[in-house]
Amino acid sequence: MAMDAISVIRSKRDRAALTDEQIDWVIDAYTRGEVADYQMAALNMAILLNGMDRREIARWTAAMIASGERMDFSSLSRPTADKHSTGGVGDKITLPLAPLVAACGAAVPQLSGRGLGHTGGTLDKLESIPGWRALLSNEEMLSVLDGTGAVICAAGDGLAPADKKLYALRDVTGTVEAIPLIASSIMSKKIAEGTGSLVLDVKVGSGAFMKTLDDARELASTMVGLGTDHGVKTVALLTDMSTPLGLTAGNALEVRESVEVLAGGGPADVVELTLALAREMLDAAGLKDADPAKALADGSAMDVWRRMITAQGGDPDAVLPVAREQHVVVAPASGTLTRLDAYDIGIAAWRLGAGRARKEDPVQAGAGVELHAKPGDTVVAGQPLLTLHTDTPERFGYALEATEGSFDIAPAGTSFTASPVVLGRVD
């Protein structure tokens, strides 16, 4: 059946549901290069504005899976469990979580991505470790997984190649937030990856792509349905992203904080969410009797981390990069910090060099924002509130614009109730 990109774009522009044939053709043609980036960008924008129904999303996801190969982990002696976050600010949870779940008996084939917009990317963070490699062949991935219990790497070129192109395009065309594109992007990779079970961390709040609980629940339900329909046991946690997770947003900064968590310390919110997701992953993998808190406390999770980093060419003992320049933002008044906006902090970190404006841009390993207080803390006028890190000090002015309205300080004694880390569950 004859197809062309303009007709498909017009269909969705005019709010029509795309046919199965249109979806199959446009995904295949884009993967082969017959449909140009600017044409797919136009279609993505039409999807963002006009949406897709459940049949369209299911078919789009199936077409993405069919664009490449399927992986098989049936040779492993452990049950497989994976996790995916929809993206947040300071969201370094994958780093301590993967080795923690592996230390409890599951195999964790964690295919991760790079930064999208104001959100950080797991691969960008780990690449701040000298020597660490994100790109592994399928054979290397299986070898690391079999030998250490966990692997964090990029999806290979053969795994949902349509998504690899679309993922980078969405980041630079203002179409990241489209629920159909988010759901199909995540689930096409995870289903093709071959994991037996999947736990989704769907972020809610200013620093998330889903700003409201209703939107986050819709995305979670869509993805849980896609996973279940493809035989992957899938559950989702809805988690707060109104405030950055932990005390850092950047690349090397977040690796450093993740190692603190694996060493038995780290910020309370990072530890809480890591353990909550670990319990869900272990339960989904049939290992509900395992105790992730014990594996974090006794050092076994740290042992897996060190083996995993070493197996991928990294040096777990190497000194992490530090930005050449710092700028301190001080509290303008004394009182109780009642708000620290995740989106504003994410934009500041991005402007400092922790993220990219174009898909081919490099990121600065040491760039980002360090937090010295979180909502609920008492602050004193003049004390450090944020430290901005970058190798290029000309970026400070632009980043400071993002931080100007990023926090509120109420008079001392003002009552404050923090939002819970976990806001809900979808299965």
CB-based contacts of 32, cutoff 8 Å, min separation 6: none
**Same structural domain for residues 143 and 9?**
no
Average pLDDT score over residue span 6-29:
97
**Same structural domain for residues 43 and 134?**
no
The partner residues of 248 in beta bridges, in order of sequence, read 370
Tens-place pLDDT, residues 201-251: 999 999 998 999 999 999 999 999 999 888 899 999 999 999 999 999 999
Q: What is the rounded CA–CA span in Å between residue 27 and residue 58? A: 13
Q: What Rg, from alpha-carbon coordinates, does the chain have?
A: 21
Average pLDDT score over residue span 370-398:
97
Residue 1: which pLDDT band, with cuts at 50, 70 and 90? low
Query: Residue 187: inside a domain, yes or no?
Result: no
**Same structural domain for residues 307 and 334?**
no
Does pLDDT of 9 surpass 80?
yes
**Same structural domain for residues 224 and 294?**
yes
**Range of the structural domain that residue 203 is part of:** 82-161+192-311
Query: Residue 258: inside a domain, yes or no?
Result: yes
Q: How many folded domains does the chain comprise?
A: 3
Q: Closest Cα partner for 244 from 406, 408, 412?
A: 406
Comparison of pLDDT for 131 and 159, the residue scoring more: 131
Q: Which of 82, 163, 201, 344 is catalytic?
A: 163
**Same structural domain for residues 351 and 285?**
no
Query: Residue 387: inside a domain, yes or no?
Result: yes
Average pLDDT score over residue span 5-18:
97
- Residue 163 a catalytic site member: yes
H or E stretch covering 45: helix 37-50
**Same structural domain for residues 211 and 336?**
no
Residue 90: which pLDDT band, with cuts at 50, 70 and 90? very high
Q: Which of 83, 92, 125, 170 is catalytic?
A: 170
Average pLDDT score over residue span 4-20:
97
CATH number, residue 374 = 3.90.1170.30
Query: Residue 251: inside a domain, yes or no?
Result: yes
Residue 369: which pLDDT band, with cuts at 50, 70 and 90? very high
- Domain final residue, candidates 289, 311, 333: 311
Query: Residue 65: inside a domain, yes or no?
Result: no
Q: Which of 189, 190, 389, 395 is catalytic?
A: 189
Average pLDDT score over residue span 309-324:
98
- Residue 425 a catalytic site member: no
Instruction: Evaluate if pTM is beyond 0.75.
Output: yes
Cα torsion 303, 309, 314, 320: sign: negative
Strands, sheet with 248-250, edge to edge from the N-terminal-most edge strand? 248-250, 368-371, 384-390, 325-330
**How would you classify the pairing of strands 197-204 and 82-85?**
parallel
Average pLDDT score over residue span 47-70:
94
CA triplet 403, 406, 408: central angle to 5 degrees? 130
Query: Residue 140: inside a domain, yes or no?
Result: yes
**Same structural domain for residues 290 and 333?**
no
What are the angstrom distances between the C-alpha of 17 and each of 3, 179, 182, 313?
Answer: 16, 15, 18, 47
- Residue 233 a catalytic site member: no
Q: Which of 112, 185, 242, 258 is catalytic?
A: 185
**Same structural domain for residues 282 and 338?**
no
Does pLDDT of 359 surpass 70?
no
**Same structural domain for residues 269 and 216?**
yes
- Residue 230 a catalytic site member: no
- Residue 189 a catalytic site member: yes
Q: Which of 84, 190, 233, 279 is catalytic?
A: 84
List the alpha helices (DSSP H) in 172-286: 179-193, 213-229, 252-262, 268-284
pLDDT, residue 110, reads 93
**Same structural domain for residues 153 and 235?**
yes
pLDDT, residue 229, reads 85
Q: Is residue 180 exposed (0-12), middle (13-18) or buried (19+ Cβ within 10 Å)?
A: buried
List the alpha helices (DSSP H) in 51-121: 54-66, 94-103
**Percentage of the chain surpassing pLDDT 70?**
100
Per-chain mean pLDDT for the chain: 94
Query: Residue 422: inside a domain, yes or no?
Result: no
